[in-house]
Amino acid sequence: MSAGPRPGVAAELVEVVDALDMPRAVVRRWLEQSTRFCLDHGGRRYYAELLDLYAEALTVLPPADR
C-alpha cells in the first residue's frame, strides 16, 4: 500500500474527489469498503492498481472522525 500520493498526483486526486460531489466522510467510507472488497476477492494479485489508487485517494481526505 502506498504511503501517500505520488508527486503531482495529490492535486488531481483532490479534484476528482471534489467532482464526486459527495461528503468526504462518505467518499472515505466508499474507498475503505472498496479496498476491503478487493482484499477479500484476490487482493493485490488481481487488484494491485485499484488498491494503490484507493490508498492514494485516502491520503487526500481528512482523517476520519471515529
Among the listed residues 47, 62, 61, the one whose alpha carbon sits nearest the alpha carbon of residue 13: 61
**Segment 14-30, tens digit of pLDDT:** 888 889 999 999 999 99
Domain range for 33? 10-59
Residue 16 in any domain: the answer is yes
The DSSP annotation for 7-66 comes to: TTTHHHHHHHHHHTTS-HHHHHHHHHHHHHHHHHTTHHHHHHHHHHHHHHHHHTSPPP--
Does the pLDDT at position 1 exceed 60?
no
Residue 4 in any domain: the answer is no
The pLDDT assigned to 64 comes to 73
Residue 3 in any domain: the answer is no
C-alpha cell belonging to residue 64: 476520519
Residue 27 in any domain: the answer is yes
Residue 38 in any domain: the answer is yes
Domain tally, the chain? 1
User: Do 57 and 10 meet the contact criterion of CB atoms below 8 Å apart?
Assistant: no
Work out the mean pLDDT of the chain and round it to a whole number.
87
User: Do 21 and 27 meet the contact criterion of CB atoms below 8 Å apart?
Assistant: no
**Segment 2-13, tens digit of pLDDT:** 566 666 778 888
Residue 66 in any domain: the answer is no
The pLDDT assigned to 63 comes to 78
Q: Among 6-20, 30-44, 47-61, which stretch is predicted with the lowest mean pLDDT?
A: 6-20
